[in-house]
């Protein structure tokens, strides 16, 4: 079995250029799910992936949802074997702010061993590892030892609003022994990881309305409540000086971190000075009583993600705007529930809104935090696969981000194991400008997938 | 003399359509001084005004500055007489937010006795009254009884950054017995006013920088100081719950309002309920211990005029932006000085900026508050001119806005009287969408100018 894996690894090393080329083609499509004008590229990306799977002998269909389509592929093993469900997403974040990219986000550039493009790491590069793995086993002339289902969606970056309904109607797509998801990162460059915990997310938009028209601040300054001032006051009330969220009840369901786990997390690779330099900051923020990694992995947070209102052009305009708005999000940890947090946040915001303006709070996305049982056979096999591909055993970690579908899978598939194998790096710059994916990680990701398939078939 | 004035008034009534037509042509030019791409229209507007003056027998030149040009006209009376300097500005505010205009801001619409267009009231409509007055006296076959100087600038809405230098080099342009400025409003519709006090202005931009790239809030939320959060905290520290500015030293030089003046201001026409309805608000803001008009006229204020940062597009983006910014302005009253206030504000902002981000405070505009001596002969004559044109005597008032050039004139011309005769209305919507100018006010403004010219020549 180790021989078979080695044979396929050789093929992968020979096919590096081909796999990279195919990934670059995928990265050229601006499949921004949040942008309605990108619908064409969303469809192109789905079709391209479907073709890629068919070319490797898998069955595949692009299935419509009420939003963007889902690519559903399946590969039947010749011999009996377990079934793995591979989830990924072919949609990407908006590329804003465009002016901070050093190259076109949708014209990938190879530099210093990285490919730079929107979606390189999140998630086109990672999902494509599984397509390439199937290809490599075929090329090596070997039988694919497991049954595979592929589920590549196009709405992950907007919170997968239609996936639940889609899967509830096509429950057969979920029939499998484990779900495999690569949409995250290693613990540190070269240190593979299995993620057993994800933070949840509650994302809201706040709209503040004051006077029904924009006003001149010379005439109305000091007379009306300025919606911009009201908005910054509301936002400023959300956290205290120690970065503690002040929404009443916010921490009620937060699990007190276990001392063993805290110690384990504090021992993860983390170079504070290097990270500060990478980020260009002199001090970290956040709750001082927790280590930065604990803050990322074990603690809930709140961030303002966007704000607008009034005049932001060149020069000066002495306006009191009629309205102002902001987007905020909270990262949640077990056992917080996004619905409850969303409600509490709305109540709190209405409470701290000054008289003289109207406030509207619109929930935009929500997902619950996830914890996976690390003791299962499948998780242990995934650990061996990572060790074979990366040359060292993975660490078990939580991740600060959220993958709404993981909550969904854990809800829809009961106790089936969810394998979260992140091939990216913490500094891939996902969601920001100059997103990148390390090419070594790309090929190690393909190898991990191959090893996982063979090890999983062993009984 | 009253007969002469009556004769000219008749001409004005006959020429209403012609004067309006000429104003509409001027309003069609988007002479937005803050927008570099509007430079062509700035030049067109200056040339059009120059032509209009020449057509009435005035000498005129469009003189370059380091920014936008100044229209300098002069009309020599046949007989000896005093010299009036007419100041106005042909530039306009940016029309944002465009989507809230019910018609094109630069395609004037006449509706219900108003002309709707950017610059209708501020200040093209008002400055044009003086051109039309000259025209009407000519048409009536009468001698213009005063010498006139016209100074129409193109940078008022961006704080007149080049006018000081321009006038210091051409001091002869200022040689006059009084300055007349119509760039404000009546006390209430039909109640003319002479403004003897203007608030000053200190306008600043705040830029907050954190991490050197945009970050994913799942990975860095709770670890880095979010520049957006820092910005809203800074802005929230600028005023307390009672709308008092918290910048240390801000109120040190504020004149305690005189009880007689407070009582006079409280007795000005002010329909609280009507204004609330017009604004679409249920309660006023501001310092509770002062009447709304006192807050507008006697008290300094602070407003956030614009804010930006992060993602403001459709959908959700969980970003921690690298930077965020805001524009703020303070209205100042005697004896505050904008330079001192600007310094104090910068110091205060740096003090309340949380560690982990860098802040930059950029002064963008500044002007000192102004008080005019209401007992001078010229002010009393202007009052009679307004009474003749509007049919009732003016009230003496302060205005909440700022006209930087008034500070400049008072500095450069020593004790020469400054006549601030606002023909607009408080609800003209200047600086906001759907700016308008009442047509009756337009023609009364022309008549005021005519009466002023004749009365001023009386000795």
Q: What is the pLDDT of residue B152?
A: 98
Q: Is the pLDDT of residue B449 over 90?
A: yes
Q: Is the pLDDT of residue A91 over 90?
A: yes
How far is the alpha carbon of B201 from chain A, nearest alpha carbon, in Å? 9
Instruction: Give the rounded percent of residues in chain B with a pLDDT score beyond 90.
Output: 82
User: What average pLDDT does chain B have?
Assistant: 94
Q: Is the pLDDT of residue B94 over 90?
A: yes
- The residues of A assigned a catalytic role are 91, 156
Where residue A413 falls among pLDDT bands split at 50, 70, 90?
A: confident
Residues of chain A neighbouring B219 (CB-CB closer than 8 A): 185, 296, 399-401, 426, 430
CATH number at B200-254+300-367: 3.30.70.360
Task: Answer whether A34 sits within 8 Å of B228, measured CB to CB.
Answer: no
Task: Answer whether B305 sits within 8 Å of A310, measured CB to CB.
Answer: yes
Q: What is the pLDDT of residue A79?
A: 85
Query: Residue B221's closest chain A neighbor by CA?
Result: A301
Task: Answer whether B296 sits within 8 Å of A433, measured CB to CB.
Answer: no
Q: Is the pLDDT of residue A257 over 80?
A: no
Q: What is the pLDDT of residue B400?
A: 87
Question: Burial, B221: exposed, middle or buried (Cβ in 10 Å; 0-12, 13-18, 19+)?
Answer: buried
Query: Residue B225's closest chain A neighbor by CA?
Result: A285
Fold of B2-198+370-457: Aminopeptidase (3.40.630)
Q: Is the pLDDT of residue B40 over 90?
A: yes
Query: Residue B203's closest chain A neighbor by CA?
Result: A316
Q: What is the pLDDT of residue B80?
A: 87
Where residue A342 falls among pLDDT bands split at 50, 70, 90?
A: very high
Model confidence over A371-388: pLDDT tens digits? 888 889 999 999 999 999
CB atoms under 10 Å from CB of A14, counted, come to 11
Where residue A398 falls among pLDDT bands split at 50, 70, 90?
A: confident
Task: Answer whether B281 sits within 8 Å of A219, measured CB to CB.
Answer: no
Q: Is the pLDDT of residue A43 over 90?
A: yes
C-alpha–C-alpha distance, residues B371 and B235, integer Å: 30
C-alpha–C-alpha distance, residues B62 and A457, integer Å: 86
- The residues of B assigned a catalytic role are 91, 156
Domain boundaries along the sequence of chain A: 2-198+369-457, 200-254+300-367
Taking residues A195-214, report their average pLDDT. Answer: 94
Q: What is the pLDDT of residue A401?
A: 84
Residue of A95, A157, A162, A232 to mutate when probing chain B, most B C-beta within 10 A: A232
Question: Burial, A429: exposed, middle or buried (Cβ in 10 Å; 0-12, 13-18, 19+)?
Answer: buried
Q: What is the pLDDT of residue A373?
A: 86
Task: Answer whether A287 sits within 8 Å of B210, measured CB to CB.
Answer: no
Q: What is the pLDDT of residue A188?
A: 87
Model confidence over B22-32: pLDDT tens digits? 999 999 999 99
Q: Give the N- to C-terminal CA distance of chain A in Å, as an integer.
A: 12
Q: Is the pLDDT of residue B159 over 90?
A: no
Instruction: Give the rounded percent of residues in chain A with a pLDDT score beyond 70.
Output: 100
More confident residue, B260 or A133: A133
Where residue B219 falls among pLDDT bands split at 50, 70, 90?
A: confident
Across A229-357, the runs of DSSP E, i.e. the strands, are 301-310, 319-320, 323-332
Taking residues A164-193, report their average pLDDT. Answer: 92
C-alpha–C-alpha distance, residues B395 and B179, integer Å: 19
How far is the alpha carbon of A115 from chain B, nearest alpha carbon, in Å? 18
Q: Cβ(A164)–Cβ(A89) under 8 Å?
A: no
User: What average pLDDT does chain A have?
Assistant: 94
Model confidence over A296-337: pLDDT tens digits? 989 999 999 999 999 999 888 899 999 999 999 999 999 999
Q: What is the pLDDT of residue A1?
A: 80
The kind and range of the H/E element at A387 are helix A377-390
C-alpha–C-alpha distance, residues B22 and B124, integer Å: 11
C-alpha–C-alpha distance, residues A435 and B218, integer Å: 15
Taking residues B227-243, report their average pLDDT. Answer: 96
- The torsion angle over the Cα atoms of residues B309, B313, B315 and B320, rounded to 10 degrees, is -20
Class of domain A2-198+369-457: alpha beta
């Amino acid at each position: 079995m180790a021989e078979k894996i080695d044979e396929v690894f050789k093929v992968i090393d020979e096919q590096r250029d081909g796999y990279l080329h195919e990934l670059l083609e995928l990265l050229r499509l601006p499949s921004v799910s949040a942008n309605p004008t990108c619908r064409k590229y969303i469809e192109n990306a789905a079709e391209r992936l479907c073709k890629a799977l068919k070319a490797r002998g898998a069955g595949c269909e692009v299935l419509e949802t009420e939003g963007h389509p889902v690519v559903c592929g399946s590969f039947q093993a010749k011999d009996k074997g377990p079934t793995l469900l591979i989830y990924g997403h072919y949609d990407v974040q908006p590329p804003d702010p465009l002016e901070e990219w050093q190259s076109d986000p949708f014209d990938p550039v190879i530099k210093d061993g990285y490919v730079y493009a929107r979606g390189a790491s999140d998630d086109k590069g990672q999902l494509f590892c599984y397509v390439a793995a199937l290809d490599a086993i075929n090329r090596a002339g070997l039988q694919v030892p497991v049954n595979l289902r592929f589920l590549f969606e196009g709405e992950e970056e907007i919170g997968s609003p239609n996936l639940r309904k889609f899967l509830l109607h096509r429950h057969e797509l979920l029939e499998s022994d484990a779900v495999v998801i690569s949409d995250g990162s290693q613990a540190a460059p070269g240190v593979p990881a299995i993620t057993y915990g994800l933070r949840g997310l509650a994302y809201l938009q706040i709209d503040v309305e004051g006077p029904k028209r924009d006003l001149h601040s010379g005439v109305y300054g000091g007379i009306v409540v300025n919606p911009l001032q009201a908005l910054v006051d509301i936002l400023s009330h959300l956290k205290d000086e120690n970065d503690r969220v002040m929404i009443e009840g916010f921490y009620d369901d937060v699990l007190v971190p276990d001392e063993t786990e805290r110690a384990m997390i504090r021992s993860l690779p983390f170079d504070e000075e290097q990270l500060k330099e990478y980020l260009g900051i002199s001090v970290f923020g956040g709750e001082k009583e927790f280590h930065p990694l604990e803050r990322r992995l074990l603690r809930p947070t709140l961030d303002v993600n966007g704000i607008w209102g009034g005049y932001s052009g060149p020069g000066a305009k002495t306006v009191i705007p009629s309205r102002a708005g902001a987007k905020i999000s909270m990262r949640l940890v077990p056992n917080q529930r996004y619905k409850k947090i969303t409600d509490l946040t709305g109540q709190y915001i209405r409470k701290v809104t000054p008289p003289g303006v109207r406030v509207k709070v619109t929930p935009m996305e929500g997902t619950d935090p996830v914890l996976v049982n690390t003791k299962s056979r499948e998780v242990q096999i995934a650990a061996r696969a990572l060790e074979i591909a990366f040359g060292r055993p993975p660490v078990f970690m939580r991740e600060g981000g959220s993958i709404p579908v993981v909550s969904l899978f854990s809800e829809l598939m009961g106790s089936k194991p969810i394998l979260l194998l992140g091939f990216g790096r913490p500094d891939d710059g996902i969601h920001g400008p100059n997103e990148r994916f390390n090419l070594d990680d790309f090929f190690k990701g393909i190898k991990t997938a191959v090893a996982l398939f063979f090890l999983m078939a062993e009984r």
